[in-house]
Structure 1
Amino acid sequence: MMRPTFWATWMTLGVISLGLSCAEKSASEVERFFPESFDISIENTASLARVDQAVALDITGIQTKYPGFNSDAFAVVAGDHELPSQAVDLNGDRQPDQIIFVADFTAQEEKTVTVRYASSGKIKREYPKRTQAELSHKVGGQFVDRKYEGGTFQNVSALRVPAEHTDHSLFIRYEGPGWESDKVGYRFYLDWRNATDIFGKKVPKMVLQNVGLDGFDSYHEMSDWGMDILKVGESLGIGSLGMWDGEKAVRVAQTDSITCTIAANGPVYSQIRTQYDGWEIGGKQYDLTSNLSITAGGRLTRHGIEISGNPENLCTGIVKHPDAKLLTKTGLENGWSYLATYGKQSLAEDNLGMAVLYRTPDLMEVQEDSQSHVVVLNPTGGKLTYYFLAAWEKEPGGIQNEAQFVQYLENVVAELNSPLKIRL
């Protein structure tokens, strides 16, 4: 079933007009804002229902068939319902590359969705926010012995990490960028640690904008929204990137420079792009671009990586915990596999499931060191994509036991193995 329609605000040619709820808004009113249209057919090829499935359409492909399409003024409609959507610049060239929206599908359903647009001008809608990415650091103070003294936090769209910054410098709010959906939040340490952590959420609303404002460690205590639920230490945390040196996973620690950018911060899709120049490891240097993204209604973070210099491997994994059970599955030859853990491994001492999902052909070996369960992967042509996820029992409608978690993972793998078929 489609979700209830969302309230929208319309901004046209710089003049804001309050839109009616979609239940009140007539089809002719939508057509007045967006007189042009085309239909797309979307088929769920999997034999299971998909809820909040992200759909991405390449703008170049759209404009090849519909040259008048304007990514500054469009709306996506399914039947009588407008689907929250956004245009996304994937590569940082300040030009939108895709339009993204989420929709629900029954098993093997084929549905028609209409994209309506105005061929000129800008019309922006504001939808309820179901994803967020942010980066906040202090301004107005100064570094003293690598600690930042004074100043107040300010959200920024990008940051080239200062040379004075290190772990626990009190410069970046919750120590790095954060991203979240209505189910879960994540952060990574924007310093030599470069490891990913989890914010468990008890509420679906966006919360990161308020995390860490009242103290460095406040988010390690349970609050009304949730808390930091993972102890990372020297491990790979959840889904952190590294390189396997034959004995252990080595994180992206020693670099010439790091620049982090909030590439997207939208209602249904958010993305963080980080450029690591001069990653030094094993006597060699590499330039690395990391793109972390999340979509509305999902737990998965997609990690897309580009790296120079043809490294022998890259690796990722999950922190070890004595109370967590290791779960692995090797999938189809050209499909997806996972390494996961489940058990009372959260900092709240309750059930937490974590997983890394990777393409089966990319796997070189499954390994472990003293801190982490590790998958060693082959970055073909300098590119690699994998996913990671966390499922906390206290999230709204959360997974409560190992059997539910395994079934959830099986469904995720089935979805990855059966991508939507989209026809313009």
Structure 2
Amino acid sequence: MRQETNTRRRLFAFIAAFAAAAGWAAAQARGPEVLGFKKQFIVEITNPSPLTLENHALVIDVADIRASVAADFNTYYYAFFEEKGGEYALVVSQADDLDKDRNHDEIVLVRTLPPSTTRLVCYYTPGRSFQLMPTQKAFARSAWEAGGAEAGWESNLVAFKFVHGRIEFYGKLQAGLILKKFPAPESKPQDWGMDVLEAGESAGLGGLSLWDGGVRVPLFGASAPQAKLTVLAPGPVRALVKAEYPAVRAAAGEVGLTVFLSTFADSAFSRHDVVISSKSAGPFVFGPGVQKLAGETWSMDKAKGFLAAWGKGADKAGEVGLAAIFPPADFSGMDETAIDRAVKLDGWAGRKLTHWVAGAWDRGVTAPGVPAAKNWVLNVEGLAERLLVPVKVEFKAK
């Protein structure tokens, strides 16, 4: 018993040392097996594009691991490593329990992927557990004051909030987490930054709508059905919030939406995974709206999958950039009002459909540089190109 306890202590110290060095310090030549791990398998991550995908977020289904290579995979005692020249570097990850049944459903990691195949080794031990606490670069929380945002989620670069179905964001002067500091005077400049987008009656940065035939049905605002917000993962690698909308009546029948809102360490975007529920298979038309800005310059490229705008933000905030990114194959049109533009996407019941929104602030860490309007469009175009790469993950026995 004493030997096992000492081994587990050494394991925790070993991994904690990695985490303290941003998760990338090299291990000694001795393999992780001597620290308590009993089994292993290979994870091959293939980037088929010619692009380097910097800080690319990967979401791995635990069920896929167990079905393909490791039926006894234990999400309470595992770690990913990259092996080079006989040395091991820890790859920080996060296991998330999405339905709160004490069984993890997904594992999240953030890696820069070269235009080739990245090979990781996953070590694990059935029947044991330990808790890895890497540096926190993502956080999510529920409402912090009555009548305000129902939830917020952030990376170390940008923070988002859900306000009656609308989405707004905070600009940051330096990298770090801010939502734990709230409530605070958000609309006034703080030492960390400020609330840089006042959505008003618009969709803000990604508020959703459904279309009933040719009629747009906003899922934001006082008259819209109010979503139920639940924080599923408060970090440290991924911040994840679930928004469950009540069913909306349409010509094809009742339609319900569940949206998983997330951001990741070292990311300046919010990922939105939408699941449509209905007795009808579809297709259904839904999509995010992007607020029109005063003095804006805007651009849309449906073939490349993005809508971008640059203009005046909230009072005293200066200028901001807004963007929506979507798979071009899902695009079915655009709907424009006096206050926002909405991207229309085709969806089907039971399928997860993903789009992204991104925000930038000319005074903060996400500033695109001068000339800001032109650079913002180029940045969004590049981000869309990287996010839409079909990265492939495979598991193999070792």
Q: Which residue of 1 aligns with 2:22?
A: none
The amino acid that maps onto 2:52 is A
Alpha carbons 2:16, 2:132 under 8 Å: kept: no
Matched, 1:328 2:300: yes
Matched, 1:184 2:186: no
How do 1:185-200 residues align onto structure 2 when only pairs under 5 Å count?
Answer: 185-189=159-163, 193-200=164-171
Q: Which residue of 2 aligns with 1:99?
A: 107
Relative to structure 2, which stretch is displaced further, 110-119 or 380-389? Answer: 380-389
The amino acid that maps onto 1:76 is F
1:24, distance to aligned residue in structure 2 (A): 8.0
Q: Which residue of 2 aligns with 1:263?
A: 232
Matched, 1:21 2:28: no
Matched, 1:121 2:88: no
Alpha carbons 1:184, 1:395 under 8 Å: kept: no
Q: Secondary structure at the match of 1:219?
A: coil
Alpha carbons 2:293, 2:310 under 8 Å: kept: no
Q: Secondary structure at the match of 1:323?
A: strand
The amino acid that maps onto 1:205 is G
Matched, 1:55 2:58: yes
TM-score (norm 2): 0.83
Alpha carbons 1:252, 1:279 under 8 Å: kept: no
Matched, 1:389 2:396: no
TM-score (norm 1): 0.78
1:377 alignment partner, one of 345, 348, 352: 345
1:70, distance to aligned residue in structure 2 (A): 0.7
Tell me the number of residue pairs that the alignment of Structure 1 and Structure 2 aligns: 369
How do 1:28-67 residues align onto structure 2 when only pairs under 5 Å count?
Answer: 28=30, 30-31=32-33, 32-64=35-67, 65-67=69-71
**Overall identity of the aligned pairs, in %:** 24
C-alpha distance 235-252 of structure 1, shift in aligned 2 (>3 A)? closer
Alpha carbons 1:51, 1:104 under 8 Å: kept: yes
Alpha carbons 2:256, 2:277 under 8 Å: kept: yes
Instruction: Output the CA distance in 2 between the equivalents of 1:171 and 1:255.
Output: 19
Q: Which residue of 2 aligns with 1:275?
A: 244
Q: Which residue of 2 aligns with 1:157?
A: none
Alpha carbons 1:134, 1:178 under 8 Å: kept: yes
Q: Which residue of 2 aligns with 1:405?
A: 376
Instruction: Output the CA distance in 2 between the equivalents of 1:298 and 1:420.
Output: 17
The amino acid that maps onto 1:321 is L
C-alpha distance 207-330 of structure 1, shift in aligned 2 (>3 A)? same
1:85 alignment partner, one of 93, 99, 115: 93
Residues 15-73 of structure 1, C-alpha deviations (whole Å, 9 max, x = no match): 98686523485354743132322222222222222221112322222223122321111
Instruction: Output the CA distance in 2 between the equivalents of 1:196 and 1:98.
Output: 25
How do 1:221-236 residues align onto structure 2 when only pairs under 5 Å count?
Answer: 221-236=188-203
Instruction: Output the CA distance in 1 between the equivalents of 2:252 and 2:44.
Output: 51
Instruction: Output the CA distance in 2 between the equivalents of 1:283 and 1:11.
Output: 60
Q: Which residue of 2 aligns with 1:148?
A: none
C-alpha distance 370-123 of structure 1, shift in aligned 2 (>3 A)? same
C-alpha distance 29-305 of structure 1, shift in aligned 2 (>3 A)? same
Instruction: Output the CA distance in 1 between the equivalents of 2:235 and 2:60.
Output: 16
Instruction: Output the CA distance in 1 between the equivalents of 2:366 and 2:169.
Output: 18
Instruction: Output the CA distance in 1 between the equivalents of 2:266 and 2:311.
Output: 23
Alpha carbons 1:131, 1:294 under 8 Å: kept: yes
1:227, distance to aligned residue in structure 2 (A): 0.7
Q: Secondary structure at the match of 1:414?
A: helix
Instruction: Output the CA distance in 2 between the equivalents of 1:188 and 1:301.
Output: 12
The amino acid that maps onto 1:115 is C
Relative to structure 2, which stretch is displaced further, 257-266 or 127-136? Answer: 257-266
C-alpha distance 415-251 of structure 1, shift in aligned 2 (>3 A)? same
C-alpha distance 52-283 of structure 1, shift in aligned 2 (>3 A)? closer
Q: Which residue of 2 aligns with 1:145?
A: none
1:178, distance to aligned residue in structure 2 (A): 0.2
Relative to structure 2, which stretch is displaced further, 114-123 or 312-321? Answer: 312-321
The amino acid that maps onto 1:41 is E
1:364 alignment partner, one of 326, 332, 336: 332
C-alpha distance 304-118 of structure 1, shift in aligned 2 (>3 A)? same
Alpha carbons 2:219, 2:225 under 8 Å: kept: no
Instruction: Output the CA distance in 1 between the equivalents of 2:322 and 2:344.
Output: 17
Alpha carbons 1:329, 1:337 under 8 Å: kept: yes
Q: Secondary structure at the match of 2:204?
A: coil
1:171 alignment partner, one of 139, 146, 149: 146
| Aligned-CA RMSD value | 2.9
Structure 1 unaligned blocks of 5 or more: 1-9, 138-169
1:319, distance to aligned residue in structure 2 (A): 0.8
Relative to structure 2, which stretch is displaced further, 399-408 or 283-292? Answer: 283-292
The amino acid that maps onto 1:133 is A
Instruction: Output the CA distance in 2 between the equivalents of 1:376 and 1:208.
Output: 31
1:131 alignment partner, one of 138, 147, 154: 138
Instruction: Output the CA distance in 2 between the equivalents of 1:313 and 1:396.
Output: 35
Q: Secondary structure at the match of 2:63?
A: helix
Q: Secondary structure at the match of 2:375?
A: helix
Q: Secondary structure at the match of 2:132?
A: strand
